Chain A
Amino acid sequence: MKTLDWLLRLALAGVFICAAILKIANPAAFHAAILTYRALPESLVPVLALWLPWVELCTGIALLWSNHRRAALWIVAALNIVFLAALAQAAWRGLDVVCGCFGRPASVRGAGYLEYLARDLAFLLVAAWLLRREPSSRQAERARND
């Protein structure tokens, strides 16, 4: 089971680090993608487009660092809830959006939303599973003292 946890954590970290690097490399494309969701005031979009990829990068790295793993998993879960909400509102409003998930522009419309919703839900479930398996800081401290 520990191997599975390790593999899932590595995969999640890989996804977050890759997604972040691709977005950092092309901030204008990510900015443009966020605009298509029409969920935020336009003045906030540049700030989010410049800040979020770095959060993803630091979170991805922290997932591989035992001291910060639990906090990183909470951030992964929170980010995926935000991504799911953004996608769901766009699907509900019938918008044609650009995912912006991995830097490369991918248009999402109609039934295409299901694939992206399913993917983010899968990441959320992986984060929840790993959080359940991860010892809390108190348990970890107790284990160290024992």
Chain B
Amino acid sequence: MDSLRRSWLGILGIASLLAAAACAFDPRARTLLRDPPAPDEILLAAATVHPGPLLWIDARSATEFANGHIPESIPLTLDDWDSQIVELLARWQPGMRVIVYCDDRACGSSRSVAEKLRREYQFDDVLILHGGWSAWKKSQPIPQPR
């Protein structure tokens, strides 16, 4: 029994040491530990593996949207709400998850848009993309020069 216990402790101990080393040297692991998403936020990795239909909402300015956005996302800002909400309502279907993003963690427009959708339109599955557009851009492969 003693040797069995020693083996268990050995396997779990080495695994824990390796995990700690990974946390020390792997920046992705450190990000997970230091910067966990808020309850109404979703990590990009979680969003991309969501099994159901998704609707991306871009809460940045029209210029920023024109310069680049997540494919198939819809622009929606508080300033142009009335004209832009039409497209969202046309594309939204029951059971669809809505993910709002703005520039990065520090911007608040995605939160304002998400709150308005929840409060005034009774959308119950509205989340904010953790890290926003910056997180999306970071996840994309860097284009190679030809």
A binding-site residues for B, Cβ under 8 Å: 24, 26-29, 31-33, 35-36, 42-43, 45-47, 49-51, 53-55, 57-59, 62, 67-68, 70-72, 74-75, 96-98, 105, 107-109, 137
**For residue B45, which residues in chain A have a CB less than 8 angstroms away from its CB?**
26, 28-29, 31-32
- Closest partner residue, chain A, to B36 (CB atom): A46
Tally the A-B contacts, defined by beta carbons under 8 Å.
102
Q: Which of B20-78 contact A (CB under 8 A)?
A: 22-23, 26, 28-29, 31-33, 36-37, 39, 43-52
Q: Which of A31, A33, A54 contacts B19 (CB 8 A)?
A: A54
Question: Which of B9-17, B98-106, B114-122 lies on the face that meets chain A?
Answer: B9-17
Cα A45 to Cα B1 with chains together (Å): 32
Cα A122 to Cα B39 with chains together (Å): 36
- Closest partner residue, chain A, to B18 (CB atom): A54
Cβ of B33 and Cβ of A46 under 8 Å apart?
Answer: yes
**For residue A45, which residues in chain B have a CB less than 8 angstroms away from its CB?**
36
Cβ of B33 and Cβ of A31 under 8 Å apart?
Answer: no
**For residue B3, which residues in chain A have a CB less than 8 angstroms away from its CB?**
67, 137
Cβ of B8 and Cβ of A71 under 8 Å apart?
Answer: yes
Cα A72 to Cα B36 with chains together (Å): 32
- Closest partner residue, chain A, to B28 (CB atom): A27
Cβ of B11 and Cβ of A51 under 8 Å apart?
Answer: no
Cβ of A105 and Cβ of B49 under 8 Å apart?
Answer: yes
Cβ of B36 and Cβ of A32 under 8 Å apart?
Answer: no
Cβ of A98 and Cβ of B23 under 8 Å apart?
Answer: no
- Closest partner residue, chain A, to B22 (CB atom): A50
B7 lies within 8 A of chain A by Cβ: yes
Q: Given the known A-B contacts A42-B36, A46-B33, A58-B11, are A71 and B4 also in contact in the complex, defined by CB atoms under 8 Å?
A: yes
Residue in B2, B32, B44, B49 with the greatest tally of chain A CB atoms within 10 Å: B49
**For residue A68, which residues in chain B have a CB less than 8 angstroms away from its CB?**
7, 10-11
- Closest partner residue, chain A, to B44 (CB atom): A28
Cα A74 to Cα B5 with chains together (Å): 11
Cβ of A98 and Cβ of B51 under 8 Å apart?
Answer: yes
Cβ of B32 and Cβ of A31 under 8 Å apart?
Answer: yes
Cβ of B18 and Cβ of A98 under 8 Å apart?
Answer: no
Cα A97 to Cα B51 with chains together (Å): 7
Enumerate the 6 nearest inter-chain pairs by beta-carbon distance, A residue then B residue, closest first: A107-B51, A32-B46, A71-B7, A105-B49, A28-B45, A54-B15
